Structure 1
Amino acid sequence: MDRKLLLTYVIAAIAATGGLLFGFDTGVINVALPFIKQEWNLSETAEGWVVGAVLAGGMAGSLLSGRLADGLGRKRINILAAIIFVVGSGIAALATSPGMLIAGRLFLGLAIGIVSFSVPLYLAEIAPSNIRGRLVTFFQLAITLGILISYLCGYAFAGYENSWRLMFWAGFIPAALLLIGMFFVPESPRWLLSKGRTQDARTVLLRLHETEAVDRELGQIEQAMSDERNRKADWRELFSARLRIPLLIGIGIFFIQQFSGINAVIYYSTRIFGMAGFGSSTTSIMATVGVGVVNTISTLIAVRFLDQWGRKPILYVGLTGTAISLATIAAAFFFRESISPDLLKLLSVGGVYVYIMFFAISLGPMGWLLIAEVYPLRIRGFATSMGSFYHWFFDFWVSFTFPIMAATSLGNNGGIFMIYTGVVLFGLLFTRFLVFETKGMSLEAIEERWK
């Protein structure tokens, strides 16, 4: 492999550790929750808050960090996030009450909200256009690896006293890796140019791109900046007529992503498998580990083929597969009284695994990739943070309401999953009429489209 290309991948892997923390600290509650409920006898509402606290923190982090990233830079904002990850992990692991645990989870959510927009943004801005989709999808791959690691930690620590505390302590390791690693990666060349640091930007591009392409890349970025220079950056521009389509894409892709039920599965698959007849927590956790494995393998496929197949074809395939699998899960619960227990387990577990597979190759990486691509440079930090906010806003309501709905007839008869199926079918129309193909286009060429 070319040396510069290898260096680009190494830098991307370091930055994507933020995604690993994202996945770990959102996924760990799935396997920790049965033991937390056993210790503190949580109600459904308290359970929703313990899970949802990370998502509330994510909303705050995504809103606060947009302007900070534009002011401080993509690199330093990720260092700040790593420090917050360390603090939040400690508070959660040492919690002596549900309130303290919720506070720790809020801290973790704050850090996750930061990296959920800053890492994809950073990856998009350092990547050559021909592999941008692959590099930004590293973030989603890291999320899935983090989820898998959290499930494996849950299975490994299940037999220990204070097992859920050990699961939270494990989050220190990737937080330390991110904190140390970010000191050794370069700043985004696009951000450096936005601050007038042309020579620094050239130095970064010379490290990562072919020499003959550097001047062309600099010229494209400078031209895009020159076109915007006479107008002061204003968050209200995001709501202007010329950016209406990017705004709808940024909101819509995350609405579909979250209300397809992904985090009901990521946070509550242990409970879903229990509803399907798996007896012990350990057995349900083992089935949940399979969710993490399928998620990771499928994301690897997306990393390999996203730039080759294009955005829209992958969305069409993924949305169709998720709709069929969600309908299968819904049918399994609806007919639970008339089918055998073994068939119920097979349909529910198989449906979840197939759902995860199709989600991970499409909706999973596509949300982060599209919001990193479609906005103009001048407001990209703020706009991307707004997209991230919508992710957490929708995620919160899905995750908070799932345990409440699961305790009603909607949980017993599969109605929850039919609602998710309807959202995915809407996603096919959204892809057809709003999403446009960005495969192989430079960020500057995409920005030119909105003029």
Structure 2
Amino acid sequence: MKLKALLLFYVMVFYVRSLNGVSKEIGNPSWKRSFLYILVASLASFLYGYHLGVINETLESISNDLHFNGNTMAEGGGFLGSTFSGLIVDRVGFRRAFQLCALPMIIGSSMSATAKNLWGMLLGRLFVGTGMGLGPTLATLYVTEVSPAYVRGTYGSFTQIATSLGLMSSLLIGFPAKETEGWWRICFWVSAVPAALLALFMEFSPESPHWLFKKGRAADAEAAFEKLLGGPYVKGAMAELSKSERGGEAETVKLSELLFGHHRKVVFIGSTLFALQQLSGINSVFFFSSTVFKSAGVSSQSANICVGIANFLGSFAALLLMDKLGRKVLLIGSFSGMIVAMGLQAASASSLVSSSNEVYLSVGGMLLFVLAFSVGAGPVPSLLLSEMFPGRIRAKAMSVCLASHWSC
């Protein structure tokens, strides 16, 4: 009897342990199911980074050919795209919105590549800017709504990594522009390829279950969850979704409710974060680093490679640390690092620093600034806010906050 009782006890222990193992397995759906769809969505961020940097290395050549001296039209298009991104997502869903994001980028890139005068280039940049305004919003929201919670921060960092890879690609492809006549046109043609891939692959990607549920399409939302998470997780995901969402109410959200209603505080925080992100001066590095480094006696190619590497390393660090340290810690650390970097650059211009060390401090300060930005100030605001906003207002609230991003 004692032997039987002992055997029964061990069997029960083994059974309980196996159940714990199963519960743990069920608790975390495989990240592999949603991984490819996250990569597809990240193409929008890649395009954002590419078009952010494509003017940098080619600006001198374009200026000689077309007398084009800036990127203002792209920023204006970005403001328009981000402003209407929430409305577009609520109306047509993420898959069609991504395709609508890719379309103006294809058209705008083609117009810029074939431009014969300044106005052709400006109009092309306006189209591209519209897609740039849509892309970051869509990528962030899509990642938030289709990724498992335990890897959401890591996946959210993918968009920043994709942005840095796009930036590096534009700088590398743009190197021959100063020696090869008309090479800058090739740089714009190249960007049409990932835009076309984004439009194509999105046709085979699942729609956001949150959007489907809000539209009253519960059966389609279950099918999307099964594709993203696996069958055993569908019921739990739908139950959680039912608690947080109420179908069909997204259309009732008005701008006045976001600006003056009970959501005004979180919208104000989001707009302020994006404003501080842009007012930090990061765009001056991405747009004009070639000119800045040239004045310091550093070749533009070497400088741009260093900027791209610093941006990528910071983005990769964010991927590793986002879910471990949390969003708030990365954000505080990022802005603190940017303060130190600005201090180094200010010190390089003082009379206390010898001329031989001035270049090292100036260039080092700029690279540290890019590194610190890409660790937190770059990826955190969009991911943090997409998690903070209730699903009912998420898309439109993000579009309001990103409008402040483009304004600044």
Same fold (TM over 0.5): yes
Segment of structure 1 superposing worse, 238-247 or 51-60: 238-247
Structure 1 equivalent of residue 21 of structure 2: none
Structure 1 equivalent of residue 170 of structure 2: 150
Whether 2:31 is the aligned partner of 1:16: answer: no
Whether 2:339 is the aligned partner of 1:339: answer: no
Q: Deviations over 1:192-250 (max 9, x none)?
A: 00111101111111122254432222122222224995993323221245323311221
| Offset at residue 83 of structure 1 (A) | 1.5
Q: Distance in 2 between matches of 1:231 and 1:185?
A: 24
Equivalent AA in structure 1 for residue 44 of structure 2:
G
Structure 2 equivalent of residue 250 of structure 1: 270
Equivalent AA in structure 2 for residue 83 of structure 1:
L
Whether 2:342 is the aligned partner of 1:326: answer: yes
Segment of structure 1 superposing worse, 229-238 or 85-94: 229-238
Taking only aligned residues, the RMSD between alpha carbons, in angstroms, comes to 2.1
Structure 2 equivalent of residue 290 of structure 1: 306
Equivalent AA in structure 1 for residue 343 of structure 2:
A
CA contact (8 A) 1:123 1:135 kept: yes
Whether 2:407 is the aligned partner of 1:393: answer: yes
Structure 1 equivalent of residue 324 of structure 2: 308
Whether 2:75 is the aligned partner of 1:55: answer: yes
CA contact (8 A) 1:87 1:107 kept: yes
CA contact (8 A) 1:154 1:285 kept: no
Find the residue that maps to 1:362 and give its secondary structure: helix
TM-score w.r.t. structure 2 length? 0.88
Q: Deviations over 1:127-165 (max 9, x none)?
A: 111111111221111111100100111114442111221
Q: Distance in 2 between matches of 1:382 and 1:355?
A: 31
Unaligned residue ranges in structure 1 (runs of 5+): 395-451
Q: Deviations over 1:164-198 (max 9, x none)?
A: 21221221221122121111110000000011110
Find the residue that maps to 1:378 and give its secondary structure: coil
Structure 1 equivalent of residue 259 of structure 2: 239
Identity of aligned residues (%): 31
Whether 2:188 is the aligned partner of 1:168: answer: yes
Structure 1 equivalent of residue 197 of structure 2: 177
Structure 2 equivalent of residue 376 of structure 1: 390
Find the residue that maps to 2:392 and give its secondary structure: helix
| Offset at residue 39 of structure 1 (A) | 3.1
Q: Deviations over 1:26-55 (max 9, x none)?
A: 11111111222233455xxxx2xx311111
Find the residue that maps to 1:161 and give its secondary structure: coil
| Offset at residue 299 of structure 1 (A) | 0.3
| Offset at residue 251 of structure 1 (A) | 0.7
CA contact (8 A) 1:311 1:366 kept: yes
Structure 1 equivalent of residue 111 of structure 2: 91
Unaligned residue ranges in structure 2 (runs of 5+): 1-24
CA contact (8 A) 1:74 1:118 kept: yes
Q: Distance in 2 between matches of 1:228 and 1:291?
A: 45
Structure having the higher Rg: 2
Q: Deviations over 1:278-315 (max 9, x none)?
A: 3xxxx213211210111012101101210111011111
Q: Distance in 2 between matches of 1:28 and 1:155?
A: 10
Equivalent AA in structure 1 for residue 340 of structure 2:
I
Segment of structure 1 superposing worse, 370-379 or 50-59: 370-379
Q: Distance in 2 between matches of 1:299 and 1:230?
A: 33
C-alpha distance 231-83 of structure 1, shift in aligned 2 (>3 A): closer
Q: Distance in 2 between matches of 1:360 and 1:84?
A: 27
Structure 1 equivalent of residue 280 of structure 2: 260
C-alpha distance 357-230 of structure 1, shift in aligned 2 (>3 A): closer
Q: Deviations over 1:86-113 (max 9, x none)?
A: 1000111111112211111110000111
| Offset at residue 276 of structure 1 (A) | 1.8
Find the residue that maps to 1:117 and give its secondary structure: helix
Segment of structure 1 superposing worse, 108-117 or 205-214: 205-214
Equivalent AA in structure 2 for residue 259 of structure 1:
L
Equivalent AA in structure 2 for residue 114 of structure 1:
L
Match for 1:200 among 191, 202, 220?
220
Q: Distance in 1 between matches of 2:310 and 2:139?
A: 24
Equivalent AA in structure 1 for residue 386 of structure 2:
A
Structure 1 equivalent of residue 367 of structure 2: 353
| Offset at residue 3 of structure 1 (A) | 8.8
CA contact (8 A) 1:157 1:166 kept: no
Find the residue that maps to 1:187 and give its secondary structure: coil
